A and B are shown apart, each in its own frame.
Chain A
Amino acid sequence: MPDRNVIINEEVVAEPDVVIKTEGLQKNFGELRVLNKIDLEIRKSEVVCIIGPSGSGKSTLLRCIAFLEEYSDGRVFIEGKLLGYKVVNGNLVRESQSNINKVRRNVGMVFQQFNLWPHMTVLRNVTDALRVVKKMDRREAERIGLETLRKVGMEDKTQYYPAKLSGGQQQRAAIARALAMKPNVMLVDEPTSALDPELVGEVLQVIQDLASEGMTMAIVSHEMGFAANVADRVVFLDEGQIVEHGDPAQIFKNPQSQRLIQFLDTWKSREL
């Protein structure tokens, strides 16, 4: 008699190069379908920029990949392992938090609102996870922490509390915090949308440096110029579906679909 409850941890071993893969990803908020059958693949060292109008589901897509939102249907694979659920008799059953954490270990995230912890200094923000999750001792954690902060240009602000820093500084510290854990892929959710215009550049520079060093990244952003320069691939999302995707030259200079053309038009008319 075959087992009645068959638990499969679906492993996609055929493509070791694929860091993130979504298959038929769907997300509903009640009646509203926010993401509709998203198929996406991100390979090692690829930088994928996700663009689209407000409400298109870009952030939701990233958050589903991060499992900060539980997706309603489809599959998300991180480094070949199914994220968030296990398959029992063909149904998705929510995984335990510790298993989710295991699959998600090598994913780092940068948030629009930075989300630094206000009651800790910059250094502690960066080292806390190292000490608590990777069980490093203080010296080792601070060594790595300082190294990462130096990378983002924040080495002389280590003892500052977030409230005393500008938005750009806070975001760079937040990037350092994610980097310190040595992730294999970074999810970047509108990193500059909450910043004053003059601070946007310093953050984009840090992200660009990361990209040129070979970090695998999925970036949601409104900065079209940045996407054109840094992305290997651009994905255009509208009303929860991938309408068009390709390399930046193709997307920005030679858009095929009507909606993409319209979207780019509104951006063109904004940049005087």
Chain B
Amino acid sequence: MNFIQIITNHYDALLTGAMMTALISGISICLGMALGLNLAFGLISKHWPIQRFCAGYRSLLRGTPMLVQLFIVFYLLPKIGLDVPSIVAAIIALTMNTTAFQAEIYRGGLLTMPPGQVEAARMLGIKTQTIRIRIIIPQLFQLVLPSLVNETIAILKNSSLISVIAVTELMRTGQQIVAVTFRPLEVYIIAAAIYLTMNISLAKLGSLAEGRLAIATRS
């Protein structure tokens, strides 16, 4: 068991892999945030067709395995004429997935917000879109931050699956190192440790952010 040797020999590859993982996850989460918010507003819409469509999307994306979603996106894109690199397909699949989960999170938050604030804004003549941006969303984030952090961690873990469509992120990097060192146990434990570190740091950042936000706007 020579963990140290493996780390010192391959730390650059590991680092690159980790950064790829972080980058891909980050992009997917941010895109998912924008889309998820819209989906959430769609989920509480009084316009029946919109609500049904959004609910259907959410149900499908939350009720099927990420791996299968990945395969569908990966194989579907070239068929509809979009010949994009694997990494783009991966981001699209991850984004579509997290959009559904985030939408559910935001919807939960929206339901607990008191309607009076929106009424006051309406009486002052503020437009719906502006109400959402200036009044609803800032409070929403504070409310759902813990769930959002959990979802971020989930995406980071899901990103390991994109190794099967040959994206060189952390998982695949690990496989490549195993091919060279023939020490799967040590290498994968190291990779696991890296994932763990990223996720624990995220969780800690999340609690910190929670604390800061709470001080700023509450008594």
A residues lining the B interface (CB < 8 Å): 66, 68, 97-98, 101, 104-105, 107-109, 111, 113, 115-119, 128-129, 132-133, 161, 163-164, 174, 177-178, 181
- For residue A118, which residues in chain B have a CB less than 8 angstroms away from its CB? 139, 217-218
Which of B128-136, B149-157, B188-196 is the contact stretch?
B128-136
A149 to chain B minimum Cβ distance, whole angstroms, is: 16
User: Which chain B residues in 114-141 approach chain A with CB under 8 Å?
Assistant: 114, 116-117, 119-128, 130, 134-135, 138-139
Most A CB atoms within 10 A — which of B125, B134, B219? B125
A177 to B120, CA, bound (A): 10
Residues of A near B122 (CB, < 8 A) are 68, 101
Q: Which secondary structure dominates where chain B touches chain A? A: helix
Q: How far is the CA of A5 from the CA of B122 in the complex (A)?
A: 30
Complex Cα–Cα for A105 and B122 (A): 10
Interchain residue pairs A-B with the least CB separation, the first 10: A129-B124, A115-B120, A115-B116, A109-B123, A163-B219, A133-B125, A119-B217, A119-B138, A113-B116, A101-B125
Beta-carbon contact of B217 and A104 below 8 Å: no
> Do B123 and A108 touch across chains, with their CB atoms under 8 A apart?
yes
B residues within 8 A CB of A129? 121, 124-126
B199 interfacial contact with A, CB 8 Å: no
Minimum Cβ distance to chain B for residue A99 (Å): 12
A113–B124 Cα distance when bound, in Å, is 16
**Which of B114, B123, B127, B130 has a CB less than 8 Å from the CB of A107?**
B123
A68 to B120, CA, bound (A): 10
| Bound Cα distance from A129 to B123, whole angstroms | 10
Taking a contact as CB atoms under 8 Å apart, the answer to whether B135 and A104 are in contact is no
**Minimal beta-carbon separation of A188 from chain B (angstroms):** 12
Residue of A nearest to B133 (CB): A132
B51 contacts which chain A residues (CB < 8 A)?
Answer: none
Which B residues touch A161, using CB under 8 A?
A: 217-219
Q: How far is the CA of A128 from the CA of B130 in the complex (A)?
A: 11
CA distance A61 to B171 in the complex (A): 63
Would you give the shortest CB distance from A154 to chain B, in whole angstroms?
Answer: 17
